[in-house]
Amino acid sequence: MLAFVNFYLIPGLVLGAIYALSAIGLSLIYGVMRFAHFAHGDLMALGAYVALAASTGLGISVWASIPFAAAATIPAALVADALFYARLRRSLPAVLLISSFGVALMLRALIYLFFGPTPLTFPRPIVPPLVFEGVRIQARHIWIILGAALCAFILHLLLSRTRAGRAMRAMSDDPDLARISGVATAAVIRLTWVIAAVLVAVAGVFLGLDTQLQPVMGFNVLLASFAAAILGGIGRPWGAAFGGVILGLAEECSTYPLRDGAPLLEPTYKSAVAFVVLIATLLLRPQGLFRGMI
């Protein structure tokens, strides 16, 4: 049982926390602007690389470099919206989706240009894991889980207790009615990009801490992020958060050995779990697990 907790449950929660942050941003963008943002993963990679540059260049901790990551992803998202998405806002959703592919390729090319293709790692001090009654957990994993929970809680307060949050929810429910009611839609869209950019920057730093940095790191988790958002109910931030946790646990636990020491699924293929979850959700409950529940 301890082996399951140490090597499957805890890594699943960490991966789920990263998926949750990314999926919440995707869900917010879709809820307010009604399109699937395929450059989201490359914004994640951009944030991670800027955090690495700030950490090594300024000699600060990785945690202190998170504001620098957010400071890079926010203008990148706003500029992409101003130059490309805003001009196509009233086009078909497929047009916006394809344009986001182009933005993703541009962001990835910039990362290759400035940082190269070689995988990099954040500077990490050698710290022994914390042990509680046989349960071993790395300190960075605790901070990743707590950081993701804090981000989700702050977003909840923003959406439920502030005027801007209520405006975002109104646009998500009915954009035309919100516009007629006097909601400043342009300001709401900008706020949505800012929030999504901050969340994905934090997710990128957390992903880099848990694994390593490479230009395609965000693209590699993009499908899982979309699957988490759809699983929780697209346009529902809390549903996306729960979907991310569920998917992270499903991926890690899918390799648990149940019979004769053989894993249920070879670790090489565990990323296929996102495909299975996505297809099953679209076939069985396309509205998502939590649609109408939260």
Task: Determine the average pLDDT of the residues in 241-254.
Answer: 92
* Res. 293: pLDDT tops 70: no
pLDDT tens column, 187-205 = 999 999 999 999 999 999 9
Q: How confident is the model at residue 291 (pLDDT cuts 50, 70, 90)?
A: low
Residue-range domains of the chain with CATH: 2-121+136-284 (1.10.3470)
C-alpha to C-alpha distance for 85 and 97, rounded to whole angstroms: 9
pLDDT above 90: residue 126? no
What tens digit of pLDDT does each residue of 93-107 get? 889 999 999 999 999
Higher pLDDT, 255 or 124: 255
Quote the tokens at residue 17: 């926390």
- What angle is formed at CA 224 by the lines to CA 220 and CA 227, rounded to 5 degrees? 150
In what helix (H) or strand (E) does residue 70 lie, and over which residues does it extend? helix 66-80
Q: What is the mean pLDDT of the chain?
A: 90
- Distance, in Å, from the CA atom of 56 to the CA atom of 50, rounded to the nearest integer, reads 10
pLDDT at position 235 is 78
pLDDT of residue 110: 96
Choose from 141-150, 176-185, 262-271 the range with maximum mean pLDDT.
141-150
Average pLDDT over residues 69-90: 94
The more confident residue out of 5 and 262 is 5
- CA-to-CA separations, 209 to 48, 103, 217, 263, in angstroms, rounded: 9, 25, 12, 26
In this predicted model, what pLDDT tens digit does every residue of 13-46 receive, in sequence order?
A: 999 999 999 999 999 999 898 889 999 999 999 9
